[in-house]
Amino acid sequence: MKNEKNLEPKQIALKRETVPSAVIRRLPRYHRFLGEMLKKGKLRTSSSELSACMGVTSSQIRQDLNCFGGFGQQGYGYNVKYLYDSISDLLGVDEHFSVVVVGAGNLGRALVFSHMFEHRGITKLAMFDVKDSLVGTQINGIPVYHIDSLLSFCQEQKVDIGVLTTPKDAAPEAAELLAKAGVLGIWNFSNMEISLPSYDVEIENMHMGDSLMALCYGLKTRKLLESDDQ
């Protein structure tokens, strides 16, 4: 499309400090909804249509996309494929990142059996655990190694992402091992906040209970409103 503004990945990376975290967290939602549009054969969309899908105002959508240079044309809207590909680039879908999962319990297994990594261009390399009964086995085709080999494996394979599904007490040591090995990012499901200021590593601390509590808040608020209406 002519006249569309775009930024090269290096330029985007340089701008990263100026992009609000709330905007970054909405990018995966844009990516998901645009992907659904592509599957339906839609060629173009508008901020109004995206607004209806996402529950975000049209103005907010335009502001979000303008953080990265803007992707549309006045009077036309957005080319769905172009916008989807551009956001894929922003999210690193084509970077071919690699991942290891530390902790081969129920959550670790569930993540390995899901297709979320493959759908985002991420290659699953290995799992790690302390249980002798698991070491040497495979889970969905992914080999399980002892945690003692985590550091050397990540260094040799130049692993990009480490997923933590360990118990709380084991998480800090595992996270530091990943950071020491040069892993670029840690996706932490250990249900505790992990911070490693001494290392140059991105950490995403996940608390599924927080999402559940937010849902409970919504339910309680609705009940209070319904009782007021009676």
Confidence of residue 96 (pLDDT cuts 50, 70, 90): very high
Domain stop point among 91, 116, 151: 91
Q: How is residue 144 annotated by DSSP? A: E
| Mean pLDDT across 97-125 | 95
**Domain check: are 70 and 175 in the same one?**
no
**Domain check: are 106 and 62 in the same one?**
no
**Domain check: are 66 and 113 in the same one?**
no
Q: Tell me the CATH number at 127.
A: 3.40.50.720
Domain stop point among 91, 112, 141: 91
SS (H, E, C) 42-103: CCEECHHHHHHHHCCCHHHHHHHHHCCCCCCECCCEEEHHHHHHHHHHHCCHHHCCEEEEEC
**Domain check: are 114 and 78 in the same one?**
no
| Mean pLDDT across 26-34 | 93
CA 147 to chain centre: 24
Number of domains present in the structure of the chain: 2
**Domain check: are 75 and 104 in the same one?**
no
Predicted TM-score (pTM) of the model is 0.83
**Domain check: are 103 and 40 in the same one?**
no
**Domain check: are 70 and 107 in the same one?**
no
**Domain check: are 178 and 112 in the same one?**
yes
| Mean pLDDT across 136-155 | 97
Q: Tell me the CATH number at 13.
A: 1.10.10.10
- Strand, helix or coil for residue 197: coil
CA dihedral 41, 57, 208, 171 (to 10 degrees): 90
What pLDDT, on a 0 to 100 scale, did the predictor assign at position 68?
86
Name every residue whose Cβ is closer than 8 Å to that of residue 80 and which is 6 or more positions away in sequence.
34, 37, 38, 42, 43, 44, 45
- Of the listed ranges 75-79, 100-104, 131-135, the least confidently predicted one is 75-79
What pLDDT, on a 0 to 100 scale, did the predictor assign at position 226?
81
**Domain check: are 171 and 86 in the same one?**
no
Q: Which residue range(s) make up the domain with 183?
A: 96-209
**Domain check: are 111 and 80 in the same one?**
no
User: Is residue 8 scored above 60 in pLDDT?
Assistant: no
What pLDDT, on a 0 to 100 scale, did the predictor assign at position 14?
41
